[in-house]
Chains A and B, each alone.
Chain A
Amino acid sequence: MNKQRDPLFHIVKRAALPWYKAWGIRAAAIVLALILCALITTLITGEDPIQVYVTIFEGGFGTARRAWILFHNLAMLLIVALAVTPAFRMRFWNIGGEGQVLIGCLASAACMITLGDKLPNGVLLAVMALASILAGAVWAGIPAIFKARWNTNETLFTLMMNYVATQLAAFFIIIWEVPKGSGTIGIINQSTMAGWLPQVGPSKYFLNILIVAVLTVLMYLYLNYTKHGYEIAVVGESERTARYVGIKVGRVIIRTLLLSGAICGLAGFLLVSGSDHTLTTSLAGGRGFTAVMVSWLAKFNPLFMIFTSFLLVFLARGAAEISTSFGLNQSFSDILTGVILFFIIGCEFFINYKLSFRSAKKEG
């Protein structure tokens, strides 16, 4: 055993990097990813890369309608991300946003269908919102109770709850299907518009966007400046420390998850009452999972999350536009999104670590 060769480099943990350098690295990663995406697209379609970027941009902002849809998608993704963030700060890996949103949708739709002609619209909307919030809170509260009491793995519990919610929604869709045998509900209360959020401002999406904007600020304040927010941070960092200062960990877990679920439920309400006016099992649209990404990429900071959810929604819309205009399959956008995420995920390494090259010069 006589190795003469020194390793070329080894990995060293960095002390904190100034924020502008960290974000510079992330920006560079995104740029690299975009270049790679354009290359892939060019390779497959033969279009020139500039045209690819133009198409992506057009997909997002091509028309006023597209821009509104983009901002609405952004708001809907952001609200789910806002919902899961308090739990993530607590290291509670809630990947059940999907089910919590869907159960909120189901509650709203149920009220619209069963109470649509019995209550004045204002009261109906209030009942719907309340029912959705409650349903979402219950859906997130159940795994939280088990986590608090028996430390049951929350990632898998919330994942399973998604499927239970999906089947529950499927069950009611068949019960309420219009027309019979179609397996869909169609637009609810199309003639009376009972339970539809009224249009405020320039677009039917405006109200939803506004609500989410307000919620973003509130969530930022909640997490960073309130006692609850502080408790969440302490529990997330160390449960033992939390117990040491008398924080009831189980109670904080349950309380936070009720809040998480409630916001997801609200998102469900906004989807049903504010934009889609129907119920399908895929209404949540994978946002529960994408929200995990949004929240993590933004380092669980609600204000940064505006940017990260914009990035993901913009890319998805742009990639979808590439697919249609170049005659590609819709799933192409998933591939592009995946590539970009891989770059962003990977670049964190260069923020937290550095490669230290061994100096050539050595003393005898």
Chain B
Amino acid sequence: MFDFVAFIPRAIVQGIPLLLGSTGETLTEKSGNLNLGIPGVMYVGAISGVVGAFLYEQAVPTGDLNNFLAVLIPLLCSLLGSALMGLLYSFLTVTLRANQNVTGLTITTFGVGLGNFFGGSLIKLSGASVPSLVLTRTSLAFTKTLPFSGSLGWFGKIFLSYGFMAYLAIAIALAVSYVLNRTRVGLQLRAVGENPNTADAAGIDVNRYKYVATCVGSMIAGLGGLYFIMDYAAGIWANDTFGDRGWLAIALVIFTVWRPNIGVLASFLFGGLYILYLFIPTGTNMAVKELYKMIPYVVTLIVLVLSSMRNKRENQPPAALGLAYFREER
């Protein structure tokens, strides 16, 4: 029998970074910015937090960390780092009106490089014998669960066994969903992404909306990187450990037809697909496992194709996605 009690929590912790990444990207895309730099932004979000945690751990050489500071410092560092990346992307694509695809890909190269460079340097600084940086003490603060969650059997395992950031991620996704659909700011943001000309004529500051949405989106996505290192990976940074999850987060945006609230469940499904190969018994045939790893990508492809076939007006990308806006265009 398939072990759901073991599978679901693992699927969820796999899904949380994707959820944060896709929520951030959805917010960004709603402003008309297709930020293909999200994978790089998530690396930067992770490494900024790691740097903050490393410095704090260095400052308190022995004993327990102050839990509050151990969480707050990496969190702020992470937010700052990814916000700067969002700012860089916005400056290039909004102010300088550069091509979004090219800028995004460059941000990814740059961000992944930045992450691995500082990660590698820190590993060297820490003098570890293995190529990884261990921040167990900080991770402990991130992974604190409710004290009674262990005593509630399968219920506790499935619903209560996560660090606070997992719940934060769900809250953020629902909040973004609410803001987009129910508030004035959300309405105006959607208008900017659909038709910046109209939004501009209605007196909305298009550039400001694009900047803010992109930077906030980057910050949310960056938290995905931070969660991955501090919670999922138990505080261990190794270069390239985050892998291609950033791209998967972008795929998830399409999978959820630009709706972060759908993203909550969809990301868990994705997380599950991502680790499904570990749970399917294959015996000695190691090669087949590689084929199972294809599943999330193939499923995304199928969703992509199906949603394009159905061609429903509400399920399409923001109409001005990927286009620079210039008011005096003739």
Contact = CB atoms under 8 A, between A and B. Distances in A.
Query: Is A–B contact present in the complex under a CB 8 A cutoff?
Result: yes
Interface of A: 11-13, 93, 95, 146, 150-153, 155-157, 159-161, 163-164, 167-168, 170-172, 174-175, 289, 292-293, 296-297, 328-335, 337-339, 341-342, 345-346, 348-349, 352-353
B84 interface: no
B297 interface: yes
How many chain B residues sit at the interface, stated as a range, is 35 or more
Interface stretch (B98-106, B160-168, B263-271): B98-106
A346 B105 contact: no
A160 B304 contact: yes
A13 B328 contact: yes
Contacts, number: 156
Contacts of A352: 97
**How would you classify the secondary structure of chain A's contact residues: helix, strand, loop or mixed?**
helix
B287 interface: yes
A13 B102 contact: no
B202 interface: no
Given A93-B101, A296-B99, A353-B97, A337 B113 contact: yes
**How would you classify the secondary structure of chain B's contact residues: helix, strand, loop or mixed?**
helix
Interface centre among B88, B113, B121, B330 (most CB of A within 10 A): B113
Interface centre among A11, A153, A168 (most CB of B within 10 A): A153
Interface in B205-250: 239, 244, 247, 250
B113 A174 contact: no
Contacts of B199: none
B297 A345 contact: no
A335 B110 contact: yes
Given A334-B109, A342-B88, A164 B298 contact: yes
B309 interface: yes
A12 B308 CA distance: 38
Nearest to B112: A334
Given A329-B116, A331-B239, A150 B290 contact: no
A130 B120 CA distance: 42
Contact of B305 (A150, A175, A349): A150
A161 B247 CA distance: 12
B6 interface: no
Interface centre among A153, A156, A160, A333 (most CB of B within 10 A): A160
